[in-house]
Amino acid sequence: MSFRFAYPVLLFLLCGVAGWAWYAWWKKPASITYSMTSRMAALAGSGGKIWPWIPKGLRIGCLTLLVLTVARPQLYNVSRDIRTPGVDIMIALDTSGSMQALDFKIDDKPVTRLQAVQKVVSEFIKKRQTDRIGLVVFGEEAFTQAPLTQDKGLLLELVSRMEIGMAGDRTAIGAAIAIGGKRLKDLKAKSKILILMTDGRHNAGELTPEQAAETVKVLGIKIYTIGVGGMGPAPFVVDTPFGRRVVKQQVDLDEKMLQKVAAIGNGQYFRASDTDRLIEIYDMIDREEKTEAKVKEFFYFRELYYYFLIPAIFLLVLELVLKTTILRVMP
């Protein structure tokens, strides 16, 4: 639920109330001068200086509440009716041990490949408001971390919780493609997309990436593959007898296999050598697989004016009662 004023322009009347309040505060009350009454002021005490201002304060409060009343304060909610099935997207992310290489940067600070992927994938998820997205995590094994859903909050939370080695240290690319395709096969959508990200070579599982891609192709699923990592050896933090050290190691990225899988799946292969390039790749995929959704918005309002009107009436009545009883002015 959100809050708003239906007629916010009327709030400018508060400036008039403020001007009147300033004038009333400094204006001297009408009076008749009597001789030798100045000595009687001390008898009233300090409270005698405050009582005359109470009706003015009540009137200012009443006018302020009336202005807020006519501006029509409301609580409202917006619901959307999406008429198009949109695009179904499964994202398969490699969490094997090699994804801890520190050859990516975020805000000029070295981060692991997985941390860079988490950031970019999260931004991609936020952009796809009308699409269903699912997550597959793979290493030595592959499993569905999130089935296809439009709950972007859940997806972002799951992406943020990904850890190196959560599915093992080896790389079962064939199994990841097969599980992603299985999640997409029976669903009706404008198009079905599988995005596979890895920085290694297929070395686990009985199903090869090419075999899995052929199967997925038959299901009408397009495959995008992304090879993660720069050229040459990558820096890793390792424990040594002399403490933690940064050591460069060679990571075996099988680009030919990824290119072949993308070709089989009628998609494209990309090489993400740094964070900026990874962002560009996801932006390209976002533009190529854009959803044109027909969305209807429904607004539900709850009027709140009576929360201001009732206190305004109370203040007005209280002012009238005080001016005709306790604070009555004698001529």
- Per-residue confidence (pLDDT) for residue 330, from 0 to 100: 52
User: Would 331 be classed as within a structural domain?
Assistant: no
Residues 113 and 161 in one domain: yes
User: Would 186 be classed as within a structural domain?
Assistant: yes
Name the residue with tokens 């990516």. 104
Residues 50 and 98 in one domain: no
Q: Which of 177, 182, 220 is nearest to 198 (CA)?
A: 177
Question: For residue 295, what are the β-bridge partners?
Answer: 82
User: Would 330 be classed as within a structural domain?
Assistant: no
**Enclosing H/E stretch for 106:** strand 104-106
User: Would 251 be classed as within a structural domain?
Assistant: yes
Question: CA–CA distance from 129 to each of 124, 132, 194, 280, 293 (Å)?
Answer: 10, 8, 17, 19, 10
As a whole number of angstroms, the distance between CA 253 and CA 229 comes to 8
As a whole number of angstroms, the distance between CA 166 and CA 138 comes to 8
Q: 311: domain range?
A: 2-27+46-77+302-324
Residues 170 and 89 in one domain: yes
Residues 71 and 90 in one domain: no
- Per-residue confidence (pLDDT) for residue 38, from 0 to 100: 56
User: Would 296 be classed as within a structural domain?
Assistant: no
Residues 65 and 154 in one domain: no
**Number of structural domains the chain divides into:** 2
- Per-residue confidence (pLDDT) for residue 181, from 0 to 100: 93
User: Would 293 be classed as within a structural domain?
Assistant: no
- Per-residue confidence (pLDDT) for residue 86, from 0 to 100: 65
CB distance 163 to 117 below 8 Å:
no
Residues 146 and 205 in one domain: yes
Residues 167 and 98 in one domain: yes
Residues 261 and 313 in one domain: no
Residues 68 and 92 in one domain: no
User: Would 179 be classed as within a structural domain?
Assistant: yes
Query: Six-digit token pair at 178?
Result: 């097969």
Low-confidence ranges of the chain (pLDDT < 50): none
Amino acid at 204: A
Residues 68 and 160 in one domain: no
Residues 96 and 64 in one domain: no
CATH number at 230 reads: 3.40.50.410
- Per-residue confidence (pLDDT) for residue 261, from 0 to 100: 95
Residues 140 and 247 in one domain: yes
User: Would 35 be classed as within a structural domain?
Assistant: no
- Per-residue confidence (pLDDT) for residue 158, from 0 to 100: 95
Global pTM? Answer: 0.62
Q: Which of 228, 201, 224 is nearest to 119 (CA)?
A: 228
